[in-house]
Structure 1
């Protein structure tokens, strides 16, 4: 096999998935796909374009098929993730090889990705342009209700199935720039222990939310209809809070929320994806 030959790893290639899982922490130290794969959450929407040597993945660019929402319209596109190369093989053009393979698969469709600040100069070479992301919040004093909304355990297959169904059948968390049908991405955050608690406000309304430094962070809402969040806030906290922040553009859930800063967790790049003017935040639980 040529060292630069690209292998496609999809949801049915369980042996190759193991090689992919071994690759990921060699490039992204705190990231792990093994539990997500063990849960059976690697579905047909996700595929990895990998260069392999002696049975090991040495470079990769993964593609997630996405149902995006842009100004109220449904847009079929893709999101890239897990793009990189193992340290000992860097500087030899392998990242370019896997990027070209992934983008060939995407064709002329809209593509987006979130990049770390060490590689911001890499993606414009492939036609990507940066897009600013903002933080949204509101100053609000809330006291805990005493009884938290019940937590959903996503280690249970039935719970994951319900979350995926809500993500597919429910309303989009934002109509400005967001996603639907991204439940399998959200399960990855839970499997990797990167998610805040998922709480059931009612049977058809689940919320990823948690308190940090006196701030209630509402990361995502999965519901069959838009509802007033305010009466439920006290059931999401176990200590008083002075501020609420949102992991998405909250125009549907809190129209009075303001821009409170820049989202510096990761830098967004887009390709063939015209977006509206004005501030927005792509939902954090839909990022790969």
Structure 2
């Protein structure tokens, strides 16, 4: 059997993108890229490496170019995502084809990916090593304020443009192990209705946050300058809370936060990437 080569799909390849979008829900049942593509969020930072069969994508590995922040240093790397093979074409070596094509494109750059528990033995075959991620939280007793922070709709182009500007030019939410310029990853979550509301605390400070069962979950903060988050908590909640949990390492925003467990929602793997010692959490809204 002849093993086909992988085809590169970039932001300008609309017909190939459509085939990619057809592939994704066949492997990831609750995931879709169509709305994200329609929003124009696929730019040159995102590339897919796909095997086609009769015009259909049957295997794929994508990479997103990342401005990683590691202990205050910026490092250019890549994050893998949408890796898989449609059920009808498994056991043919096609996942290896697309992984090797993506790895060749990335060269010796630092790499990371988040995997589910079904494929934990797959990525070490390509030089990836598992790394533990922690959960952070703190006690916080607060009541809703009289002036809730306005909700911004990422379906609107000007809101997406504003988020891109804040992500490109503002702070990384954490300098321990985080990212900048990841607004288009965050918008993918919004396009799939996976994200919590985006709220505007002020013109240059936007927060993805929501309350569940008396806990405020702050998934990301996009801001040009650091600020004291605590006085704004009443503006982010619609019911009393007793705790706040963070989707990132909150050393800048809540120094008293502590480790409250291990992040078992996704499993981190890295290659050519040395992570800081001590507990940390790569921002959930920067994960592909």
TM-score, length basis structure 1:
0.99
Structure 1 unaligned regions, length at least 5: none
- CA distance in structure 1 between the aligned counterparts of 2:62 and 2:75, rounded to whole angstroms: 20
Preserved contact between residue 146 and residue 238 of structure 1 (Cα < 8 Å):
no
For 1:146 and 1:25, how far apart are their aligned partners in 2?
42
Is the contact made by 1:3 and 1:51 (CA closer than 8 Å) also made in structure 2? no
Superposition deviation, residue 190 in structure 1? 0.7
1:153 corresponds to = 153
SS at match of 1:61: strand
Question: How far apart, in 2, do the equivalents of 1:266 and 1:88 lie?
Answer: 26
CA distance in 1, matches of 2:141, 2:227: 20
Count of residue pairs the alignment pairs up: 287
Contact 1:3–1:53 (CA under 8 A) maintained in structure 2: no
- Structure 2: gaps spanning 5 or more residues: none
What TM-score, normalized to structure 2?
A: 0.99
> CA RMSD of the aligned region, Å?
0.8
Counterpart in 1 of 2:279? 279
**Aligned partners of 1:170 and 1:225 also within 8 Å:** yes
Q: Secondary structure at the match of 2:152?
A: coil
Could you give the per-residue CA deviations for residues 177-235 of structure 1, whole angstroms, max 9, x where no partner exists?
00001111111111111110000000000000001121100000000011000000011
- Residue 121 of structure 1: CA displacement? 0.2
* Residue 32 of structure 1: how far off its partner (Å): 0.6
1:70-128 Cα offsets, whole Å, 9 max, x none, are 01000000000000000111111111110000000000000000000000000001110
Residue equivalent to 1:184: 184
Aligned runs of 1:63-74 on 2, under 5 Å? 63-74=63-74
How far apart, CA to CA, are the structure 1 residues paired with 2:4 and 2:277? 40
The one-character-per-residue Cα deviations of 1:137-169 (angstroms, maximum 9, x if unpaired) are 001111111332000111110110000000000
Map 1:95-114; keep pairs closer than 5 Å. 95-114=95-114
**Deviation digits for residues 8-40 of structure 1 (CA, Å, limit 9, x no counterpart):** 000000111010001000000000100000001
* Post-superposition CA distance 1:36-65 (Å, at most 9, x none): 000010000000000000111000000100
Q: Does 1:215 align with 2:215?
A: yes
Partner of 1:144: 144
Q: Secondary structure at the match of 2:136?
A: strand
Task: Give the structure 2 partner of residue 128 of structure 1.
Answer: 128
| Aligned equivalent of 1:61 | 61
For 1:5, what is the secondary structure of its paired residue?
coil
Matched ranges for 1:34-53 at <5 A: 34-53=34-53
> 1:29 matched to which residue of 2?
29
On the 8 A contact 1:144/1:239 being kept in 2, the answer is yes
Indicate conservation of the 8 Å contact 1:218/1:247, yes or no.
yes
Aligned equivalents of 1:271, 1:74: Cα separation in 2: 17
Residue number in structure 2 paired with 1:252: 252
**Inter-partner Cα distance in structure 2 for 1:156 and 1:85:** 33
Structure 1 runs (4+) greater than 4 angstroms displaced: none
Q: Secondary structure at the match of 1:4?
A: coil
Give the match's secondary structure for 1:195.
coil
1:279, CA displacement in angstroms?
0.5
Distance 1:63 1:164 in 2: 19
